């Protein structure tokens, strides 16, 4: 079992996205103390993956709807507008993904996240069977990442802008085994996250309205670790707020949090129903 997490900073989710995720409100006192007293998720993830820990961070330009409209109006006055993104630009969203690995399959440890010029993947699961062929000496994380990268490359010349999403759906719908995954598609600026249809791997989520940060994690902090402040509010009250901090992601399918010039949108690729593979002839029982 591995520990995986993702964090998107400077992200504004619409009311529709929040309702779709069923994000619960937090107490005002907890929102004020959260940024200072919530420890790093690494402490919760490393016990689940003691063999390796790594993280990847990238910044993506995410102009707000107002700035896009302003840019369009300026284009009417000027022939060309060039904007260079800087570290101080408030329209930059920061995507951080981390993975703590427990080595179970393959000849050597495969550190996570796996990343290339197209995508980033963190994976907590096991592929027993399905459409992906996993050899006895293969690492299922590496095989899955290679197949998802092939989907991006194969759909790059397609006129259908959702061609990659359709290929992704075919891949993880064909996985047999327990899993939770977080996958960032760099080309289309889309975050995929979900767990298997039986919910055999945990994946928690939380949206921090105050700091405009969206979290995903396979493990959360214990309440005693989170509550270390000397605020006037009682310990019991803060612990009550912590109960609303992390919520288990429904195992309905794989969610897609995608960026467009109009803002972030959320969709869910529901699990496809497959006919059970029932043997028509009984097996011979030989003693």
158-168: pLDDT as tens digits: 766 688 888 99
pLDDT grade for 226, boundaries at 50, 70 and 90: very low
* CA gap 226, 245 in Å, rounded: 11
Q: What is the pLDDT of residue 155?
A: 82
Indicate the pLDDT class of residue 42, thresholds 50, 70 and 90: confident
Average pLDDT (116-120) is 94
Q: Closest Cα to residue 66, out of 90, 98, 85? A: 90
Predicted structure pTM score: 0.78
Average pLDDT over residues 114-139: 90
**Residue, of 147 and 37, whose pLDDT is higher:** 147
For residue 235, is pLDDT > 70? no
pLDDT for 36 equals 40
- State residue 120's pLDDT score: 96
The pLDDT assigned to 182 comes to 97
Q: 138: which residues sit within 8 A by CB, 6+ positions away?
A: 105, 106
Contact 171, 131 (CB under 8 A): yes
Sign of CA dihedral 61, 65, 68, 74: negative
> Greater confidence, 174 or 280?
174
pLDDT score for 171:
93
Tell me how many degrees the CA angle 187-271-217 measures, rounded to the nearest 5: 60
Reported as a single tens digit per residue, the pLDDT across 61-109 is 865 444 334 333 444 433 333 334 344 445 788 999 999 998 877 678 8
Residue 185 reports pLDDT greater than 60: yes
Residue 34 in contact with residue 210, Cβ under 8 Å? yes
Q: How far apart are CA 197 and CA 254, in angstroms?
A: 9
* Measured distance CA(206)–CA(22) in Å, rounded: 10
CA atoms within 13 A on the CB side of 286: 1
Q: How confident is the model at residue 224 (pLDDT cuts 50, 70, 90)?
A: very low
Measured distance CA(43)–CA(74) in Å, rounded: 48
Interior CA angle at 178 toward 50 and 161, to 5°?
105
Question: Helix 163-173 crosses helix 140-154 at what angle (to 10 degrees)?
Answer: 150
Q: Which domains does the chain have, with CATH numbers?
A: 3-270 (3.60.20.10)
Which of 72-86, 104-118, 146-160, 204-218 has the weakest average pLDDT? Answer: 72-86
pLDDT of 24 higher than 80: no
DSSP label at 176?
E
Give the residue-averaged pLDDT of 274-287.
Answer: 52
Percent of the chain exceeding pLDDT 90 equals 36
Indicate whether 137 pLDDT > 60: yes
What percent of the chain clears pLDDT 70, i.e. is strictly above it?
68
């Amino acid at each position: 079992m591995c520990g995986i997490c993702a964090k998107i900073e400077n992200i504004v989710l619409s009311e529709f996205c929040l309702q779709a995720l069923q994000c619960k409100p937090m107490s005002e006192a907890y929102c004020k103390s959260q940024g200072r007293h919530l420890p790093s998720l690494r402490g919760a993830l490393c016990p689940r993956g003691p063999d390796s820990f790594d993280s990847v961070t990238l910044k993506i330009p995410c102009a707000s709807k107002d700035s896009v409209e302003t840019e369009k109006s300026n284009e009417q006055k000027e022939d060309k507008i060039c904007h260079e993104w800087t570290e101080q630009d408030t329209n930059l969203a920061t995507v951080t993904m981390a993975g703590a690995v427990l080595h179970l399959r393959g000849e050597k440890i495969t550190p996570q996240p796996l990343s290339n010029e197209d995508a980033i993947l963190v994976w907590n699961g096991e592929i027993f069977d399905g459409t992906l062929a996993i050899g006895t000496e293969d690492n299922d994380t590496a095989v899955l990442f290679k197949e998802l990268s092939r989907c991006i490359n194969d759909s790059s010349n397609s006129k259908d802008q959702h061609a990659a999403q359709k290929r992704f759906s075919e891949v993880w719908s064909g996985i047999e085994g327990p899993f939770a995954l977080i996958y960032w598609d760099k080309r289309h600026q889309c975050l995929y996250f979900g767990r298997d249809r039986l919910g055999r791997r945990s994946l928690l989520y939380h949206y921090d309205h105050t700091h405009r940060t969206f979290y995903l994690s396979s493990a959360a902090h214990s309440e005693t670790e989170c509550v270390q402040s000397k605020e006037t509010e009682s310990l019991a009250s803060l612990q009550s707020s912590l109960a609303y901090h992390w919520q288990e992601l429904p195992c309905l399918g794989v969610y897609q949090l995608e960026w467009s010039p109009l803002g972030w949108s959320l969709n869910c690729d529901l699990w496809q129903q497959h006919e059970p593979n029932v043997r028509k002839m009984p097996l011979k029982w030989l003693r």
